Structure 1
Amino acid sequence: MAEHSVVFSFFLIFSGAAVLASIALYTRQPLLVAYIVLGALLGPYWLGYISDTAMLADISHIGIIFLLFLLGLDMQPSHLVQMIKKATWVALGSSVIFLGIGYTAGIFFGYTQTEALIIGAALMFSSTIIGIKLLPTTVLHHRHTGELVVGLLLLQDVIAIIVLLFLYSGQGDEGMMGLVKPLIALPLLIGTGFLLVKYVILPLIQRFDRFHEYIFLLAIGWCLGMAELAQYAGLSAEMGAFVAGVALATSPISQYIATNLKPLRDFFLILFFFSVGASFNLALIPQILLPATLLAVIVVAFKPIVFRYLLKTIKEDDQISWEVGFRLGQISEFSLLIAYIATSAALIGQEASHVIQATAILTFLLSTYVVIFNYPSPIAVSDKLRRD
């Protein structure tokens, strides 16, 4: 089928999303289910109306960058450092456990040792998008539960970046330097971010704060500029965006910026979930259905138990430990990236890659259902649990 214009593609995506989202709301389903289903329906492996999923994935990546920027705007640096120190053991312990579980399951299903190891690596992380999108604003800003979720996700992001660096180093010629460079770059990026905010960004905001359009423009430029700087330094764009947000968090203007950027973030996140559905090769379902389903069930069932046990070791109470575990009971968008990079580097085959992708989609959906039926969230099924 011929490729359509970008405008027509956006018409199909957002008009289709509006229709399916309406059906989802009437049937009390989470909206992201509608976006993923629409992607599978319109993508190249079903109706084929939208075939350039790589372009959509690139565009939708901006949504993740804005999500991390807005998250940074809500985090006071002193609280963040304290929480990361406290949660380091939990993040490392859970990562090792799920690396072992994924590796064992991969070997059991007959994949090579390298494929099993990468499947295990994909199971280590929880989704920043799901974890934060399902947190009510009051919990994210003011509750200990929100601090724990954010601290663990950030530590997992750091571990994920290290895993991605190993995968990238297998494709390039930098060798050990490719791993050392980001470790040096991170503190430099943080220092640069705080200095630029103090001596450039805040003075500009104070001088031209009457021009709301300018504040909006400056915030987007600052976010994307730090994201690009982080990528240039060998880190992830998400990490740069988060540093950009944290550097601005102590300023009174941070909440104004956060409020105004949320609609832009949601626009790109719709594209992200659409591209997840559209990129999935439906023809491989018969080969991957059993391993992907088993892995998804293991993740959704055991992540809450593992997090509950590990959080108890740092003196967290039962109720908070279980809630954090269920909110982190899925694998991550980083897992999708691991699958794509490992496939392009010929470390894993298409079947193993799609096992990871299918597991990600299933855990996105299953864990979302668990959270919206049991905990406060902006898209909770019951009015009693719905919190913006």
Structure 2
Amino acid sequence: MLQQSLVFSFFLIFTGAAVLASVALYTRQPLLVAYIVLGAVLGPYGYSLIQDTALLSDISHVGIIFLLFLLGLDMQPSHLVHMLKKATLVAIFSAIIFMAIGYIVGISFGYTRTEAIIIGVALMFSSTIIGIKLLPTTVLHHKHTGELVVGLLLLQDVIAILVLLFLNSGDNGADQITTFLKTVVALPLIIGGSLIFVRYILLPLIQKFDRFHEYIFLVAIGWCLGLAELAHVVGLSAEIGAFIAGVSLATSPIAQYIATSLKPLRDFFLILFFFSIGASFNLALLGQIIVPAIILAVLVLVLKPIVFRFLLQSISESNSLAWEVGFRLGQISEFSLLIAYMATGAAMIGEEASHVIQATAILTFLLSTYVVIFNYPNPIAVSDKLRRD
């Protein structure tokens, strides 16, 4: 019965996702919004065709592990150092500004101080998926605009990793100090151990058997999940372990091949993750959260371009480039959804505050995509003049 239920659930999810994804592409919407909407429609608060979302949520958690593993693989130390010199202050000041905005709005609507802080943290980041997907390939790889967008997103990813690390140690009372100290000791040990293991064991094995692509695929998955489980055992999160696993391989020649090989697997699990986000969205709370969500979405859409424009001009970027980067980063992030998910699981925020973050993310995903596709070069523009692959 469990197997039939899981197969039927997968049928509904992936067939429905294919249909809604087609509609989303025709209407120039982000695909992840289609997955979230599908979850809300089919889940327990919609038509209840899929009621047991706990199992799907557990399975989809693997997608987040792979996502952070791939982020680690892309985090080349040389690129990171270059962008640290260029855009660190922009990333830090923009994060502080939007955390303050989220905090003020959260407090204004009666959320607790912790909930308001988490709402503010969720506003700090821009969407890597939307930011990268809406950049033409030539801009992404060969132009300064692409370098700035990718660099800022990379720096935001680093901040997000630190936030996730903090959320993972978010216990109360004396346990918090113990957990934090355990984390402080465990983190450098895992980082150092992973670098040694990769250099002296993993890379020699890959180099010896690099003709067998299946072997490389298996080793990459084993390394990712193995370090994720090790991190979980010593009190860190599986996500942090996966990220360390990726970074430890980032400088090796095989890193990009592994990243390309694992992307379809990551996408499979991420569809389940975004579906489970939608399925857990309690539509009965919509009346309570729609006003703060709309206010936050409007503030993000209006103020992010202005803030990035001001900060980028302060480091001598041109006015037009500063505006373009600001509009391309004018939404909150899929990391915001992950932060809401983890903060709820750690009992740091309530269901209502979590739903505010989710609704704000969906609104900014939709509206910022429209702003970009109608005004800047991108692969899915309606206008032939702006369409660039």
Asked whether the two chains share a fold, i.e. TM above 0.5, the reply is yes
Q: How far did 1:85 drift?
A: 4.3
Q: Which residue of 2 aligns with 1:214?
A: 215
- Is contact 1:231–1:237 with CA below 8 Å preserved after alignment? yes
Q: Which residue of 2 aligns with 1:336?
A: 337
Consecutive unaligned residues in structure 2, runs of 5 or more: none
How far apart in 2 are the matches of 1:161 and 1:239?
A: 7
Q: How far did 1:154 drift?
A: 4.1
Q: How far did 1:278 drift?
A: 1.5
How far apart in 2 are the matches of 1:64 and 1:156?
A: 17
SS at match of 1:252: coil
SS at match of 1:125: coil
Deviates more, 1:239-248 or 1:338-347: 338-347
Q: Which residue of 2 aligns with 1:124?
A: 124
Deviates more, 1:160-169 or 1:264-273: 160-169
How far apart in 1 are the matches of 2:65 and 2:371?
A: 26
SS at match of 2:98: helix
SS at match of 2:99: helix
Cα 1:186–1:104 shift into 2, 3 Å: same
How far apart in 2 are the matches of 1:86 and 1:200?
A: 36
Q: Which residue of 2 aligns with 1:201?
A: 202
Q: Which residue of 1 aligns with 2:254?
A: 253
Supply the AA of the counterpart residue of 1:20.
L
Give every structure 1 segment of 4 or more consecutive aligned residues whose post-TM-superposition deviation is greater than 6 Å. Answer: none
Supply the AA of the counterpart residue of 2:70.
L
Supply the AA of the counterpart residue of 2:326.
G
- Is contact 1:84–1:152 with CA below 8 Å preserved after alignment? no
How far apart in 2 are the matches of 1:142 and 1:185?
A: 39
- Is contact 2:309–2:319 with CA below 8 Å preserved after alignment? yes
Supply the AA of the counterpart residue of 2:352.
E
Q: Which residue of 2 aligns with 1:367?
A: 368
Please list the CA deviations of residues 276-305 of structure 1 after superposition, one character each: whole Å capped at 9, or x if unmatched: 221211111112111111111111221122
How far apart in 2 are the matches of 1:40 and 1:80?
A: 38
Cα 1:173–1:320 shift into 2, 3 Å: farther
Q: Which residue of 1 aligns with 2:59?
A: 59
Q: Which residue of 2 aligns with 1:191?
A: 192
| TM-score, reference length from structure 2 | 0.86
Deviates more, 1:237-246 or 1:216-225: 237-246
Q: Which residue of 1 aligns with 2:225?
A: 224
Q: Which residue of 1 aligns with 2:81?
A: 81
1:236-247 correspondence runs (5 A): 236-247=237-248
- Is contact 2:165–2:237 with CA below 8 Å preserved after alignment? no
How far apart in 1 are the matches of 2:273 and 2:138?
A: 25
How far apart in 2 are the matches of 1:193 and 1:88?
A: 27
Length, aligned pairs only: 387
Q: Which residue of 1 aligns with 2:110?
A: 110
Q: CA RMSD in A?
A: 3.1
Q: Which residue of 1 aligns with 2:283?
A: 282
User: Percent of pairs identical after alignment?
Assistant: 76
How far apart in 2 are the matches of 1:184 and 1:145?
A: 39
How far apart in 1 are the matches of 2:215 and 2:115?
A: 49
Cα 1:169–1:19 shift into 2, 3 Å: closer
How far apart in 2 are the matches of 1:330 and 1:279?
A: 22
Deviates more, 1:8-17 or 1:132-141: 132-141
- Is contact 1:3–1:52 with CA below 8 Å preserved after alignment? no
- Is contact 2:29–2:366 with CA below 8 Å preserved after alignment? no
| TM-score, reference length from structure 1 | 0.86
SS at match of 2:202: helix
Q: How far did 1:43 drift?
A: 1.0
Supply the AA of the counterpart residue of 1:291.
P
Please list the CA deviations of residues 103-133 of structure 1 after superposition, one character each: whole Å capped at 9, or x if unmatched: 2212332334443333223222333444444
How far apart in 2 are the matches of 1:378 and 1:222?
A: 34
How far apart in 1 are the matches of 2:240 and 2:140?
A: 19
How far apart in 1 are the matches of 2:90 and 2:186?
A: 25
Q: Which residue of 2 aligns with 1:92?
A: 92
Supply the AA of the counterpart residue of 1:32.
L
Q: Which residue of 1 aligns with 2:43?
A: 43
SS at match of 1:169: coil
Q: How far did 1:214 drift?
A: 0.7
- Is contact 2:126–2:330 with CA below 8 Å preserved after alignment? yes
